Amino acid sequence: MRKPFVAGNWKMNKTSAEARELVEKMIAQLQDAAAVETVFCPPFMAVATVREALKHTAFGLGAQNMHWEEQGAFTGEVAPKMVKEFCEYVILGHSERRAYFGETNETVNKKLQAAQKNNLISIVCVGETLAEYESGRTREVVSTQTSLGLRDVAPEYARSIIVAYEPVWAIGTGKASTGPAANAVIKDFIRPAIAELYGAETAQAVRVLYGGSVTAANAQEFFTQPDIDGALVGGASLKVDEFVSIVKSF
């Protein structure tokens, strides 16, 4: 049984003070939602404050990115062990990182290796752009991102990875995919790519989320699909009622 998982990716939103207010309101309403693993991913500057607010709770904390090097002359970057000091999770290869900050399947994999070394649970994002979708390249893109991004970790670590299928055309557009379409990509392209790397059992054990314009209104459509284990939520994770209701849709 794969435990349901919902993560809120706040992206570059909320100061530390605003983050504290937001997370406190959310956790107050999520006390009875223990069946769903719920993780907050605030911007780096708010991580310590949110950690304080989550103390003595079962909610998880994640970073939105990190560098793969352990330390050194990398101005502006954050090292894995700095993330690990506060967080249990890290989002890797989000499409915005790929599109605006030059991340590739190779750098995503380097970060995955670093996450393994530092005992961080990775949430690895994959997904095709609109142009790739329209030219029928979804299978090729998503399979390649999965095989190259997830390769070369220990089998036990591979089982802990969380994959987020986020079609780029659905992110922040209000145009979500559909339950059946997202389920098919996960079942037919993502799990088989994982199976090729780590075997069928691991491919079934890995949790795969859907992300892209998930709202309280459409969450259930995704959560009732057999191969979708939860959601990576962007815009709606900044709204208390929306996010609470998404988590409670399971």
Nearer to ligand PGA, 177 or 202 (CB): 177
DSSP H or E run through 134: helix 130-134
* Euclidean distance between CA atoms 83 and 42, whole angstroms: 12
For residue 181, give every residue at least 6 positions away whose Cβ sits within 8 Å of its Cβ, in sequence order, or none. Answer: none
Q: Which of 94, 103, 128, 132 is catalytic?
A: 94
Minimum distance from residue 36 beta carbon to ligand PGA (Å) = 17
Task: Give me the least distance between CB of 69 and ligand PGA, in Å please.
Answer: 25
Residue tagged active-site, from 96, 103, 132, 166:
166
- Which positions touch ligand PGA (CB under 6 A)? 9, 166, 171-172, 211-214, 232-236
Residue with Cβ nearer ligand PGA (9 or 225): 9
Tokens of 50: 């949110």
| Closest distance to ligand PGA from the beta carbon of 166 (Å) | 6
Q: How buried is residue 1: exposed, middle or buried, by Cβ count under 10 Å (0-12/13-18/19+)?
A: exposed
Query: Per residue in 78-99, is it b (16+ CB within 10 Å) or e — as a string?
Result: bbbebbbebbebbbbbbbbbbe
Name the 3-class secondary structure at 18.
Answer: helix
Q: Work out how close the CB of 155 gets to ligand PGA at its nearest, in angstroms, rounded to a whole number.
A: 27
CA distance 104 to 148: 9
Whether residue 67 lies in the annotated active site: no
Q: Which residue is nearest to ligand PGA (CB)?
A: 234
Q: Is 94 among the catalytic positions?
A: yes
Q: What does residue 151 show for φ and ψ, rounded to 5 degrees?
A: -75, 165
Q: Are 92 and 122 spatial neighbours (Cβ–Cβ below 8 Å)?
A: yes
Q: Which residues contact 2 (CB under 8 A, 6 or more apart)?
A: 205, 206, 207, 229
**What letter does residue 235 receive in the DSSP assignment?**
G
Q: Write down the least CB distance from residue 154 to ligand PGA, Å.
A: 27
Task: Compare residues 214 and 228 and give the one whose CB is closer to ligand PGA.
Answer: 214
CB-wise, 198 or 243, nearer to ligand PGA?
243
Closer Cβ to ligand PGA, 79 or 87, answer by number? 87
Residues identified as active-site: 94, 166
